[in-house]
Amino acid sequence: MESSSSAAAAVDGEDGGGSKRSWYAVGERAVLVPYLREHVPRYHGWMQDPALLEATASEPLSLDQEFEVHRSWTLDPLKHTFIVLDKDLIEGGFAVGDPHTEAMVGDVNIYMNDPDDLQLAEIEIMIAEHKSTFCYSRGKGLGQEAILIMMAFAVEKYGIHTFRAKINESNTASLKLFRKLGFKDASYSSVFKEVTLEAPATALPLVSPLTIRNW
Ligand SMILES: CC(C)(COP(=O)(O)OP(=O)(O)OC[C@H]1O[C@@H](n2cnc3c(N)ncnc32)[C@H](O)[C@@H]1OP(=O)(O)O)[C@@H](O)C(=O)NCCC(=O)NCCS
C-alpha cells in the first residue's frame, strides 16, 4: 500500500539521515523544526496550563513521562510533529541544528490514525505562548501558517489526501481557524462535545512552493 510505505519511508530511525528529524520548513512568520529532546522541558511547561490541556484534550504528565511521549512520537511512523518557531523571537538568526528553544511557541502535528485509510491525517495545532510578559505569539498568523505548511508537507512527504480535525465545540478560535481554511463539519459527538471537520487536500490553500530542507 502506498500509504504505509510512504509513511515508513518518511521515518527510518530516531536520529538517522532520512528520518523525520531531518526536515525543517520555512514560512514567512514561522519556522517548523523537528521536535527535539531540547524542546521537551518548555513543552512540558506549557502543558501545565489547564486551558491548553483542555483545548488539546491532553492529560497532565510528569517531565519523565513527557520525555517518554517525545520518544514514542519520534519513533512512531504514523505521527509527525514539528515545533513552531516564531521568527520574531529567534536570537542571532536561524541556524540549522539549533533547537532555538528561545523562539518555540507551539507545535503542529499529524497522526495517520485511521486504519482504513493511512493517507488520511488528523491534524492538531497549538500556539501555546500567549501570556508571558515578553511573548504574545497568538493572533499573529502563526497558527494558520503552521497548519498550511504542515499540510503541504504532509501531502508531499506522506501522500496525504484528506485532513481531519477534532475540536471541542467551545473552542471558537480553533473552529474559526479551520473553517476559514476550508474545512467542513463532518460530524458531531454529543458525548465528547466535539466537532469533526474534514477537508480534501485539493480544497485547501496549501503553501506552495514549500521550502523543506534537511535538518
Ligand atoms: C487556535 C490557535 C491555534 C490559533 O492560533 P493563532 O496563531 O493565534 O491564530 P492565527 O493568528 O493564525 O489566526 C488565524 C485565524 O484563526 C481564527 N482565530 C484565531 N484566534 C482567534 C480568536 N481568539 N477568536 C476567534 N478566531 C480566532 C481567525 O479566523 C484567524 O483569522 P483572522 O485573523 O483572519 O480572523 C491558538 O489559539 C491555540 O493554540 N489555542 C489552544 C490550542 C488549541 O485550541 N488547538 C486546537 C486543537 S486542534
- Which residues have CB under 6 Å of ligand 1? 52, 55-56, 106, 124-127, 138-144, 165, 167, 171-174, 176-177, 180
Which runs of E-coded beta strand occur in the chain? 23-26, 30-34, 79-86, 104-111, 120-127, 162-168, 184-189, 194-200, 211-214
* Rounded alpha-carbon distances, angstroms, from residue 177 to 100, 110, 124, 170, 185: 27, 17, 12, 13, 13
Query: Residues near 178 by Cβ (< 8 Å), separated by ≥ 6?
Result: 147, 165, 167, 197
Closest CA to ligand 1's atom 7: 143
Indicate yes or no: pTM above 0.85.
yes
Fold of 22-212: Aminopeptidase (3.40.630)
> Do 132 and 102 contact (CB within 8 A), yes or no?
no
Closest CA to ligand 1's atom 48: 124
User: What are 44-98's pLDDT values in tens digits?
Assistant: 999 999 999 999 999 999 999 999 999 999 999 999 999 999 999 999 999 999 9
Phi, psi for residue 117 in degrees, rounded to 5: -155, 95
**More confident call, 180 vs 209:** 180
Q: Where are the domains of the chain?
A: 22-212
2 pLDDT above the threshold of 90: no
13 pLDDT above the threshold of 90: no
Question: Beta-carbon neighbour count of residue 129 at 10 Å?
Answer: 21
